Structure 1
């Protein structure tokens, strides 16, 4: 099974034999790949009961929980990596979630859809309505995305908090995009962070 492009970037960047917490792990696709390819000790936290059941049926260690309330229960520096993929924009307090990620893990991967992509901008400009795209498929009233973040917003956010960006990858469609003008041309971003 092939991974979603942002998850493939993360899987290729996680060191073998490390401990990983995947927050919002979905059905455990990334965790399974990390376990099978790299001998990673992967644990997961997922809000959706169906996804938890699917991950557990793959032999993965996943518990049902909410990133907004349950990350506080994890001890400091208990993982080498904490991962939050396509989940940051769905949390009530992204700043608190990110603080917990960087407290729990020595490093954190964060990926999110870029709300400043040119198609999103064009849709707002031409139609005057919230856009529906491949990466943002829900209508405004049923989207889980409650914090619309752009690449430039995120860069300013981490810089203002003294967080170091160790790596950044950008995707246009399913292909990697250049970092130049990523805020306009990338649909998705992946950042590797540390304190």
Structure 2
């Protein structure tokens, strides 16, 4: 069994064995390798960073270099059972359009993101008056890839506005799953499973 980051483990645990999966913003391919090795999935990836593409390909994974903001339109409708967007949504130019593409390409879509409304983030802004640097948000404001500061409640609102079906939701505080109550305040990370 492959050891994964907690949000990726939630995703892996909820993907049906043998599925076709597109991991958008796949990084070094850790999730794809786990799905291939542990669940017999046909996992493909799209990644913008050439070093990550090289690392994934070195693992024998099928990854192409590309940008989610411009390259998802090349994928046919319904070509995957699952499309995954893990810690990538907040780095895209138009997250709403990326979610639309995610659910056009995949029959179901996983989205995970750091929660910018977590109490530590709020406290850092309130007390220090500065953008926080945390374990899940380790970059400073000027070198972060995050261009949209999404919260759990913001994402839930997008799901309602777009009339998407929510198949599952999981919340993490540190590396531990936490309850849904007060998730917008208490969870550092969120994972949603959606269907269009």
TM-score interval, normalised by the smaller of the two chains:
over 0.9
Is 1:56 aligned to 2:54, yes or no?
Answer: no
How far apart, CA to CA, are the structure 2 residues paired with 1:63 and 1:22?
A: 11
Map of 2:31 onto structure 1: 30
SS at match of 1:95: helix
Instruction: Give the superposed CA RMSD.
Output: 0.5
Equivalent residue number for residue 161 of structure 1: 162
Q: TM-score, normalised by structure 1?
A: 0.99
State yes or no: 1:71 paired with 2:80.
Answer: no
Question: Aligned equivalents of 1:2 and 1:105: distance in 2?
Answer: 25
Secondary structure, aligned partner of 1:121: helix
Structure 1 runs, 4 residues or longer, greater than 4 Å off: none
Could you tell me how far apart the structure 2 residues matched to 1:149 and 1:40 are? 30
Q: Residue 99 of structure 1 aligns with which residue?
A: 100
Q: CA deviation at 1:56?
A: 0.4
Number of the residue aligned with 1:17: 18
**SS of structure 1 residue aligned to 2:166:** strand
Instruction: Give the Å deviation of 1:2.
Output: 1.2
Q: CA deviation at 1:30?
A: 0.2
Match of 1:190 in 2: 191
**TM superposition score normalised by structure 2:** 0.99
For structure 2, the 5+ residue unaligned runs are none
CA offsets 1:61-87 (integer angstroms, 9 cap, x no match): 000000000001100000000000000
Q: Does 1:88 align with 2:96?
A: no
Q: Please list every run of 5 or more consecutive structure 1 residues that lacks an aligned counterpart in the other structure.
A: none
How many positions carry a matched residue from both structures?
195
Structure-1 separation of matches of 2:190 and 2:75 = 26
